[in-house]
Amino acid sequence: MQPPSLKGRYQLMQRLLFSHVTAILPDRLVENAWVLCEGGKIVSISTKKPKGSVEIVDGRGGYLSPGFIDIHVHGGDGADFMDGTADAVRIACRAHARHGTTTIFPTTTTGSPEQIHAMLDAVKVVQAERSVENGARIAGVHLYGPFFAEDKVGCHSAAGRREPTAAEYRAYFETGLVRIATCAAELPGAVELYREAKKRRCLITCGHSNASWPEMAAAFKAGMRHVDHFWCAMSNVASVRSRLGVPMRGSMLEYVLGTAEMSTEVIADGCHLAPELLEFAFRLKGPRKLCLVTDANRALDLPPGNYRFGAAEDGSWFESDGRVGWAPGRTSLASSIMGMDHMVRQMKRDTSASLPEVVRMASLTPAELTGIAKHTGSLEVGKKADLVLLSRKLDVRRVFIGGVEMAL
């Protein structure tokens, strides 16, 4: 008889005790913490060793962090979620788990309705498998493309961009998978989409948009509360003036900064935004309304080269230089090629945010915005044992999903 695998041993033991760690709580660090997990959940956090038979996980003086949660991510390790196959979903989820992401929202891009439905079908298959071997747990889908403004498509395929119709987006919502819904606020039919998404209790976002303040206000009234990747593919005063003329009007930027209820996200890869912009966003929105996202594409963990963004058969081409993605001709960026661990290190290095605040932006804040914070997103008793052991330099050492270790 062969000995049980590491995964099997953890399932049999049911009790894990993390030792020699600094626990990262939402509001503070706990040095020399003992974190006990049982049945896939956190049962105690203490500075005293609990009694009883347990499997010890030695943190070797590192940090114990809640698993990261990525609400805006397209792929990794050669796969894009829009490839529309279960294998592509598994590959991308495993890739991001290696970077500390334990909960993920696979994100669509522009494409045909058939391609988007294929993506949804593939996600449903992998989500139903409920296997730690598949990597990050799928909490739902981010319906991001195809409802972008024509002049804000960015690196996505313009051929797959269109205005929303009720028949199309209702078919996506009916799958029960969509938990985040993006639409450019100025498009005809956007308000109706927002209202439908609100009925479905989605996080409603505006992205790839050249919307004015009044259009954002109408979107807000319909339920929109979030803006995708701040400063990227979004309106400013100058772009709104070019579209609507004078007098100059407020844009997405002013509306987000001027509306306390609005949240947003940043790509802290060191290439999209300079340190002063990361600091500016943190100071003005704070850790409860600012998320870290990867917006990573299929070039994550792959060598520099040319790759497809979106579906493998007809997605737009981009170039990875090993640090970031570039549109053809290097005229603009084409999303990130880094995992969430990189974003956490960069945000800690480039801003005045404390480590608990940085980790919150990568875990509890996205959990709160998407309605899953009761179950995951922080080191709290009763929550899932979705945990990441980090070195003192914030490099990922080990990853646990529901108390089961994933092979890196």
Closest CA to 305 of 318, 292, 296: 318
Whether residue 306 has pLDDT greater than 80: yes
Which CATH number is associated with domain 68-369? 3.20.20.140
* CATH, domain 6-66+382-406, list 1.10.1660.10, 3.90.1150.10, 2.30.40.10, 1.20.120.420: 2.30.40.10
Q: What is the DSSP string of 160-226?
A: G-----HHHHHHHHTTS-EEEEE--TTSTTHHHHHHHHHHTT-EEEE-SB--BHHHHHHHHHHT--E
Query: What pLDDT digit, counting tens, does each position of 245-267 carry?
Result: 999 999 999 999 999 999 999 99
Query: What pLDDT digit, counting tens, does each position of 5-49 carry?
Result: 444 333 444 799 999 999 999 999 999 999 999 999 999 999 999
How does the average pLDDT of the chain come out, rounded?
96
Q: Are 122 and 89 in contact (CB under 8 A)?
A: yes
- In whole angstroms, give the CA distance from residue 317 to residue 49: 54
Cis check for the bond before 113: say yes or no (omega within 30 of 0).
Answer: no
- In whole angstroms, give the CA distance from residue 405 to residue 113: 37
Closest CA to 379 of 25, 101, 18: 25
Portions of the chain given CATH number 2.30.40.10: 6-66+382-406
Whether residue 217 has pLDDT greater than 50: yes
List Cβ neighbours of 284 (8 Å cut-off, separation of 6 or more): 257
Beta-sheet pairing, 75-76 with 203-206: unpaired
Portions of the chain given CATH number 3.20.20.140: 68-369
- For 122, the token pair is 């593939």
Query: What pLDDT digit, counting tens, does each position of 54-111 carry?
Result: 999 999 999 999 999 999 999 999 999 999 999 999 999 999 999 999 999 999 999 9
Q: How confident is the model at residue 4, as a pLDDT?
A: 38
Number of other CB atoms surrounding residue 312 within 10 Å: 16
Calculate the alpha carbon distances from 297 to 82, 170, 400, 407 in Å.
11, 27, 24, 22
At 53, is the pLDDT very low, low, confident or very high (cuts 50, 70, 90)?
confident
